[in-house]
Each structure stands twice: as C-alpha cells, then as structure tokens.
C-alpha cells in the first residue's frame, strides 16, 4: 500500500526569514504571503525557530507598559513580555522548534502536532536544511480524496496486492470516504485483516463490515490453545 508521507502534502515553496529579520519585515512577510507563521533559519539554512502571529501580538499587548531594560535570554523560553520587547526574529521566535522529516508518515506528523501543541511543522532534509512546511490543513488533505480514488486504492493495493484476493470476492463501495465491504471469505482472520487494512488507507473515514466467512479460525485457535494449556486462565487473543 502507498505510504503517505509529509513530502506528499507539504508546501515546498516555503518562505523563511533570517535570525536578524526585523519585526516589521516579519509582519510584511506574513501579510504578503497570507500565512500565520514563518520559520527562522540560521546562515547555514538550519531551522532554529518559528515566529507566529501570536509571537508578534505580544508587542501590541505590552505596548506602552513600563518594562524597564530590555532583556533577552536565548538559552530558555522567553516570556510574553520579553517577546513584546523583541525587535528581531532571534528575539521573537519560539524555540525549540519542532520539525518533521520529508519521509515522516502523515499519522506520525499528526501525532507530533497533537503532542507538541503546534499547528505546523517545518520540514527538513536529512542535513537539517529547510525544504518545506506542513500544516494541520495539509495533513487533512488526504480526506479530500475522491471516492473513486479511495476505492481504487482499496481494490488494487489492499485486496489484490496485499491480500491476493480477487475483486469478485469482496465488493467495495465508497461513499463520502466510508467504505462498505460485502462478500464471503474462507476464514474469520482473513475477514478481520481485510477490514483492518482497509481502515488504514489514508482518507478512509470508516469501514462498514458486511463480510461473512466459513471457518472461525480465531475461535479454533483459542480452543486448541486451551486444550494445550488446561491450567491457564488466559488464552491467545482473538
């Protein structure tokens, strides 16, 4: 089956700013590009941080307040007030930056965004250089795939190439990303594996399982295990 990665959905024409970019320059970059954040790169092209609209708004929030001498601490997370006093990308950016590799799977990228609480991930090459950016909206693009495309993946990649099933053995209908499977297979484990693999196709919203089977080999396996382990309280999982 096709493994969808960040490379498939990322924006490759990514805008970045150097560490010494001014506050006004960053505002102009966001406005001109109609974007909500921009990566910050060092002279070697390595991503060192991200400046978002939220980082820039601190200057508006703390405008006119008595803050005393401006202090910047590059070795730790900066407070909102410190960011409000910042003048360059180096002083405004959020660090440490969370990145993804070009071959990171979409499920892994989605988990990373959720775990780290970020809306986007700069995408880096193996040498650490910036090659793109992927957002939550980009990851969700897989659910914009047409039903015909999803059905083709289910039939060709799952049924034929992975499970070696003929199309007449399992009928596949896709409507709004929901896949309905109808047919008769020889074993319960094969039917369950079919449902599992179809559900793993990116873009599939849900699977309706109408498959039947001849042999309940899962129950048979449990029965054999119990006969071999008569004093055990547990058996093999279904």
Helices (H), the chain: 6-9, 23-33, 53-61, 80-84, 89-92, 106-116, 136-139, 147-152, 188-199, 217-228
Q: What is the largest CA-CA distance in the chain?
A: 80
End-to-end CA distance of the chain: 25
Asked if residue 238 has pLDDT above 60, the reply is: no
Strands in 130-135's sheet, in edge-to-edge order, are 100-101, 120-124, 130-135
0.85 exceeded by the pTM?
A: no
Q: Which domains occur in the chain, in start order?
A: 6-142 (3.10.580.10), 145-219 (3.30.1340.30)
Alpha-carbon Rg for the chain in angstroms: 26
Q: How far apart are CA 127 and CA 109, in angstroms?
A: 19
**For range 132-146, the mean pLDDT:** 91
pLDDT band, very low/low/confident/very high, at 55 (cuts 50, 70, 90): confident
Number of residues in the chain: 238
pLDDT for position 59: 72
């Amino acid at each position: 089956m096709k493994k969808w990665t960040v490379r498939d959905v990322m924006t490759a024409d990514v805008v970045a700013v150097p560490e010494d970019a001014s506050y006004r320059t960053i505002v102009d970059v966001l406005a001109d590009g109609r974007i909500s954040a921009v990566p910050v790169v060092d002279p070697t092209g390595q991503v060192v941080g991200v400046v978002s609209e939220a980082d820039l708004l601190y200057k508006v929030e703390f405008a006119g307040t008595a803050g005393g001498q401006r202090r910047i601490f590059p070795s730790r997370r900066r407070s909102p007030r410190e960011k409000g006093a910042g003048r360059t990308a180096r002083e405004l950016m959020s660090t440490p930056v969370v990145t993804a590799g070009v071959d990171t799977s979409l499920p892994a990228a989605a988990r990373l965004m959720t775990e780290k609480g970020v809306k986007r991930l700069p995408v880096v090459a193996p040498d650490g250089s910036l090659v793109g950016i992927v957002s939550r909206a980009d990851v969700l693009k897989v659910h914009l795939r047409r039903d015909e495309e999803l059905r083709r993946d289910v039939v060709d990649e799952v049924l034929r190439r992975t499970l070696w099933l003929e199309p007449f053995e399992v009928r596949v209908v896709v409507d709004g990303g929901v896949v309905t499977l109808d047919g008769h297979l020889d074993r319960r484990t094969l039917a369950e594996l079919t449902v599992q693999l179809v559900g793993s196709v990116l873009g599939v919203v849900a699977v309706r399982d109408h498959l039947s089977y001849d042999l309940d080999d899962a129950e048979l396996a449990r029965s054999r295990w119990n006969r071999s382990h008569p004093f055990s309280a547990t058996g093999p999982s279904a």
